[in-house]
A and B are shown apart, each in its own frame.
Chain A
Amino acid sequence: DGGITQSPKYLFRKEGQNVTLSCEQNLNHDAMYWYRQDPGQGLRLIYYSQIVNDFQKGDIAEGYSVSREKKESFPLTVTSAQKNPTAFYLCASTSSGRAYNEQFFGPGTRLTVL
């Protein structure tokens, strides 16, 4: 099956810990995105990557870091610098080119700070 997988589904973090959220896609998409969703809100862009070994900050990048060493993978690290990390995190990918099309989303990771 083609698609995007995220793991884990639920993640609990203690204060001061860094945690890494996994995102993998087998759709052969060049572009990948990380979003944060708070209760009752829309999605806000954290980081995005249009190509391997390159990524850009989105609207709320502070306290987060990413890497893009492989086309299939775009892990997100939530660092201790992120003061309010409890949220639902969604990863997405899209084919790129002259015209971007729809984004395909993973099932999400719900992060809770204890």
Chain B
Amino acid sequence: SQQGEEDPQALSIQEGENATMNCSYKTSINNLQWYRQNSGRGLVHLILIRSNEREKHSGRLRVTLDTSKKSSSLLITASRAADTASYFCATDARSSNTGKLIFGQGTTLQVKP
């Protein structure tokens, strides 16, 4: 069962602009995580936000979580060409005690120099 759905599927912006990606999920969660994947590589963890948190920052990244709407957003400010990658949200269902994550299909971000 698909837990995370991401929007948009693809995003193309100019360097220096902000990029916003959205994620929606279906069931109650313990936490929501965002990962980045460069082409042909493994995933790299960016940020984790717990269900009792509403906003979290890490460098140029800002994540928000709205549990009433079952949605999250990832904002990358002042984007760089090196930010070009696919971004995935992943949720850890509250009903699970296994650490299993369910991933969305991802947003492909292209940052043009």
Contact residues of A with B, CB < 8 Å? Answer: 4, 6, 31, 33, 35, 40-45, 48, 50, 56, 58-59, 88, 90, 92, 94, 96, 99-108, 110
Contacts and interface: CB of A to CB of B under 8 A. Distances in A.
Nearest to A110: B40
Contacts of B102: 45
A102 B42 contact: no
Interface of B: 1, 4, 30-31, 33, 35, 40-45, 48, 88, 90, 92, 98-106
A52 to B, nearest CB: 15
B98 A42 contact: no
Given A105-B44, A108-B41, A100 B99 contact: yes
A30 B93 CA distance: 19
A33 B100 contact: yes
A103 B45 contact: yes
A45 B93 CA distance: 14
Contacts of A106: 42
Contact of B92 (A88, A100, A105): A100
Nearest to B47: A102
Nearest to B34: A102
Contact of A42 (B40, B48, B88): B88
A6 to B, nearest CB: 8
Contacts of B100: 33, 45, 48, 58
A31 B99 contact: yes
23 contacts: A31-B99, A33-B99, A41-B105, A42-B106, A45-B100, A45-B101, A48-B98, A48-B100, A50-B99, A58-B100, A90-B42, A94-B99, A99-B30, A100-B92, A100-B98, A100-B99, A103-B45, A103-B90, A103-B99, A103-B101, A104-B45, A106-B42, A107-B41
